[in-house]
Structure 1
Amino acid sequence: MLRPNKHSDPQLTVLPVAGALLKQIKNKRLCTTAELRASLGKPESDRSPLLLPSVSLLFLLSLVEYRRKTDTLEYVGP
Structure 2
Amino acid sequence: MLFPSKHDNPDQTIIAVATTMIKYLSRYKVVEYSALLGYCKSKTDKIEYLFSPAIDLLYILGLVRYLPKSDCFEWAKS
The alignment's TM-score, normalised by the length of structure 2, stands at: 0.88
Once residues 68 and 47 of structure 2 are traced to their aligned partners in structure 1, the CA distance between those partners, rounded to angstroms, is: 25
1:32 pairs with 2:32:
yes
Pairwise CA distance, 1:41: 2.2
Letter in 1 for 2:35: E
Residue 51 of structure 1, CA deviation: 0.7
Q: CA shift at 1:77, angstroms?
A: 1.7
User: Identity percentage over the alignment?
Assistant: 29
In structure 1, the partner of 2:22 is 22
Unaligned runs of 5+ in 2: none
Q: Size of the alignment, in residue pairs?
A: 76
Structure 1 residue aligned with 2:67: 67
Alignment of 1:50-61 (within 5 A): 50-61=50-61
1:76 CA drift (Å): 0.8
Q: CA deviation at 1:69?
A: 1.3
State the 4+ residue runs in structure 1 displaced beyond 6 angstroms: none
Q: Aligned to 2:2, what secondary structure does the other structure show?
A: coil
Q: Give the aligned CA root-mean-square deviation in angstroms.
A: 1.2
Counterpart amino acid of 1:18? A
Code of the aligned partner of 2:22: L
